[in-house]
Each structure stands twice: as structure tokens, then as C-alpha cells.
A = this chain, B = another copy of it.
């Protein structure tokens, strides 16, 4: 299948020398550890990068106590990765020298390229071309570099990396903003969390955010991925990378800027990249199970949760509290986030009641302030709840108990014990507790939050990833055996319907006629009443020229309508119309709208909504990137706000959602198969009849692409 307009090629193996080099050189190395060319050198030394480090600077003989070389040509030993930190004008000669001596990967810090002006963009294209021809991968220019925390490869000049993360971090981040990468690194350190990799992609002459994502998806040391998008055009490549993460069951947490008009305007002036439609971005992220965060804190909290805790085995959340009110607060949050707040079995509730007479025992389980007097109650209650509640996750809220040192010690013992006895349980503490206590819990695989609602949110995120990874979706339909529409103008309604029919969609049985006699014969065959419409690819708005007559119940009515329409349309358009369609009147059911668009980032996307005001006035539409299978189509249908109307309201029967899902999947296969040939498809209305009775396209408009 052609994935126009962009290639989705990803070559993770070629990134190895960049991300795991055995040796590095720094072109433009500086003796001043506060300068751009000095900082990485200082960081590499401080973090004991194991391979040789070659400073390149004509000033020599040593830079920061390492023997330095006037040029990369003078090193005389293999260099896996070279860092270029010289003024823009010297970048290309340095790059060429690197390729000449067999350097295997290059990072370019230098700014002054596509972010500046047209000439800069041309220079950047040359950099990319030189890299391609030389067979090496390039990161940057205008990037802040990358850090591989497990090998001490701190190839960055962001001051935040003066603070070292511990090796062994499981969370990887790839970001289009270096400043953002440094910022969250600091925030993570404050939470005693370190990363596996921090990858900043800058101007993306070659290595881009999708490459970084794919690398982390395949990196055995990374178990969860954060990705930060400012703007990205290679939608299909991104989908490929997300697919790799999904296949390896690695949760992806994303910030994608420009959710709102104001944000999109700001993003456009910031990145100069075409944004694409945010609704489509959102749909694609959803399609691949990505958690989309809207604040830095959320991005970090969910990322950390994914990297440090297990996913719960089910969606049932057990809430334990020493404050009834906070219990209810958590129950509200759990319901908001779609978790299951089922009560415990009655027998278990009775046991809790025996333990704490005034406890609330359903769920949340409120063991009350009693626990202040007898701290063992907490452990005893939790034992009952875990053993008998069937909860995949447990969130105890314990106020600020862990701030009292002797209590904290006992509490930590209980936590160890709990962790040991219930290794499958997701344990999330909500409490005001000192950092050492929180870090202790974190080391046990607990999550720990001051805010109870954040605790519940983390459970919900992990549960959603479990559900996503457990999906056993039917694959997309095979490409339909229908030739692409010819390039040129729009197809007529009749041809559009025929094209869709050939692709396997249910369409109304419209007959093309060229005379009143043919019309009558067709109507007789189809059965009255019928609809008569003018059939011409030139007339897109048939109603406006009197080209539609509905509910014609008799041969006479049809004859009159035919005569009137032939004359009327000719008068209005100044053209003789030769062809008409006769179709049976179909009614009863819910009118929906199906569509295909070309998104500038993601290519062919399918749109769905209910007919009439729902799409036009309320904007209640949903998108998915094509192709997708029926299971995804079912989720898509359920994602509109007005879904309940399809379930049957005001005494109407439920609609045939299976038929609708099948049609959407089919349409998506068509859209993907002919991505290069189809500009848009609009099926409106697509009538979804009562359950078991199928669905049918009553009108359609296919517009082929004008040119490649």
C-alpha cells in the first residue's frame, strides 16, 4: 500500500552508532565547561563515559585535561559519534571531514539553519544530502543533543544535565524541544526518577522524532516512552513508530501542542511547520493508545507511572481511606476516568465492619480516624480488601501519617509485606509524605502521590494501557478490488455510488435513465415510491437547481416530475441534461455521514458523524487514519458525543451498528488503497437502519485528486 505523501521508512539499526557509540569526538570542544562546546565534555567526564573522548580544537594540546586534536582528521582512531559545535559556516566542512574519516554518526548543535531563513533551510538540506550520500545519520542542526544515561553519554549542552540521573532509568523521552527535555529531566530528578535516554531532535534534517520514538520502542532498557511534539509532518512514519511501541507493549505518553486555535497559531509561529488538524492528531494518538497529556505535570506523572509500576490486571479499583470525604473524592475521580468502583463482596464488608465498627465498607472503604489510635488496622483492613475484593489496583489514602517518623517506619514495613504477598497488585499511595518515604515506596514499585485524584488518574492511565495492549483487533479489510478513480473532476452521484458499491459498501439501487420511459421502467422494477434526480458530474448541488424529486408514488407523478425537472434544470443551468437516476425511496433509520479526507500530515483519514445538525452545527465528528478494522470502527462510532442516538431513543429501535462499522472499515480500506488517487469522499446521508437490517448510502460524492 502506498503511504503517500510521505515515506514511513524507519531504520533503527542505523541509529546504533549515534545512541550507543563506543567512541566520541567533539568538534569545537571548549576548555570552558560553561560554554556550548565545553559543557558536553565536562558532562561526559563527570558521568564516566566509558569509551575514548576526542576533543577537537586547534588550540590544544589539551582541552579539559584530555589530549585534543586540531582536526577530526588527526585522531587516527575510529570515531563512532562526532558532535559538531562550531559556528554555522563551519558545519558543512566539519561534516564532510567526519564522513571522510569514517565517523558513523553526527550530532549538530549549531544553530542558524532552517529556523532562520530560506538560505539556512537550503544549507540544512545540503547537510541532509551529505549525510545520506555519506551513509551516516545526523541529529540536528539546532538541537540540544542526546543523553544515554546508562553509558554516561551526556552529549548535550543543556545546563539541566549538570545534574546526573542514576543509570538504570526505564523511561525514555524524545522531544522536539531541547529546552523542554532539560526541564523535565530536572523535574524527574526532583522525583528521584531518571531517564534511559533523552533525545532532542532540533531541526530534524535527518533523525526526527519518529526515529527517536522507534529507537526507544526497540531499546531493551526502555519500558515506557514520553514524546513531545511541536509540529511534525511525517504522519505515516509516526504511525509506524507508534506501531512498534504498541507491538512491544510500551506505553507512550505524549504532549502535542496546538490543541486550540490560539495554541495552533502560537505553534505555527514557533515551529513554522504545518500543523495538520488537531482533531486528526488526537484521533491518531487515540488509535495507537497514546496517552495525551495537557500539562507538564501530567506528562511526567503518567510517564513515571508507566515506567515504574505494573499495569493492573483489571479495571476494578479499590479505594481505602482514613477520611470519608477523600474517599468520595477518589470515587468521583475514578468514575470520571472510567474505572470500576465496584463494592466488595458482602462477606468481606462484614469482616471490615468487625474490625472497625463505624467503617464504610462498600468502596471506598473508610477505616476512619480510628487508624490514628491503632495503626495495625490499616494493614488488617487492606489484607481483607486485597484478598477478597478482586481489585486490580488499590489506592490507600492515609493523610499525613507518613510524616510521623515512627509511623513511617511501620508503614513502610507494611508496604514491603503487601508488595511481597500481592506481587500482581498495582499499589498506589496517596499521602503527604516526606521524600525519603515516597522514594522508598517508588523503589518497591508503588506509585505515590500527594493528590488523591492524581493517584486515581495514574491507575486509569495504566488500566487503559492494559486494555489497549490486550486488544485482539481484526486486521483492516484487504484493499478492495476496484480500480482507482480517474484523475479529473468529481464523479457524478451515480458514478460515486457505483464506485463505492464496487468497493463493497452498501448503496441504494439507483438506476441511470435517459428518458421518461426508461425512468418508468426502472421505477416499475424497483417499486414505487421512487426518487428522481438529475445525474450530471457538473451539477454538485442538485437541489439548488430543482434536480431532486422525492417520494414519487405513481407513474404519473414520475412522468410529471421528469418533464418538470428536465425543463427546469435546463432553464437554470443553461444546459440540456441527458441523464437522470431513479432510486427507491428508503427511509427509517438514523442518518449518518461518512467521509474521507486527505490530512496534510496523516494522509487518508476517515470521518464519521450523525447527519444534519450534529455534524454541521455541533461539530460532533470523529476521525481515524485509514485503514482500520471493524473493532476500531466500533470504537470510532462510540466516540461521538451523540452516540446514544444510535442505541435507539424515544422508542426507536437500536441502529445496525455492526453494518455501520463494517462500512467504515471498508471505506477506510478503500481510502488507504487509493490514497494517491482520492481527494475526498462524502457519503451523506448514509442511512443506518434498525439492527439486523443493514445500512445504505443514499447519496455520495467522490472527488479524485487533481494531480500528484
Q: What is the interface of chain A, defined by CB distance below 8 A to chain B?
A: 115-116, 159-160, 176-177, 179-180, 182-183, 186-187, 190, 228, 230, 255, 257-263, 265-267, 269-271, 294-297, 322-329, 331-336, 341, 358, 360, 362-364, 366, 369, 372, 399-400, 403, 432, 450-454, 612-613, 616-618, 641-642, 644-645, 649-650
Contacts and interface: CB of A to CB of B under 8 A. Distances in A.
10 contacts: A179-B324, A228-B325, A258-B332, A262-B335, A265-B362, A266-B328, A266-B360, A269-B360, A295-B452, A618-B642
Given A325-B230, A369-B179, A613 B266 contact: no
B399 A296 contact: no
Contacts of A332: 257-260, 262-263, 294
Nearest to A610: B613
A553 B372 CA distance: 79
Given A187-B450, A255-B329, 17 more contacts: A179-B322, A183-B432, A186-B400, A186-B403, A187-B432, A228-B325, A258-B328, A259-B332, A262-B332, A263-B331, A265-B331, A266-B360, A270-B360, A296-B453, A297-B450, A613-B642, A613-B649
A363 B266 contact: yes
A125 to B, nearest CB: 20
Contacts of A649: 613, 616-617
A364 B260 CA distance: 14
Copies of this polypeptide in the complex:
2
Given A271-B324, A454-B295, A650-B613, A183 B255 contact: no
* Residue with the highest number of chain B CB atoms closer than 10 Å, among A115, A180, A270, A399: A270
Nearest to A361: B269
Contacts of A452: 295-296
A603 B332 CA distance: 25
Contact of A262 (B187, B262, B322, B334): B334
Contact of A260 (B177, B326, B336): B336
A295 B618 contact: no
A400 B183 contact: yes
A230 B266 contact: no
Nearest to A116: B358
Contacts of A372: 159
A428 to B, nearest CB: 15
Contact of A263 (B190, B261, B323, B335): B335
Given A358-B115, A364-B266, A328 B645 contact: no
Given A331-B260, A641-B618, A323 B432 contact: no
Given A295-B333, A450-B187, A263 B328 contact: yes
B296 A257 contact: no
A372 to B, nearest CB: 7
Nearest to A183: B399
* Residue with the highest number of chain B CB atoms closer than 10 Å, among A187, A263, A326, A336: A263
Contacts of A399: 179, 182-183
A173 to B, nearest CB: 13
B180 A325 contact: yes
Nearest to A259: B332
A331 B228 contact: no
Contacts of A403: 186
Contact of A177 (B179, B325, B400): B325
Contacts of A179: 322-326, 369, 399
A327 B642 contact: no
Contacts of A645: 613, 617-618
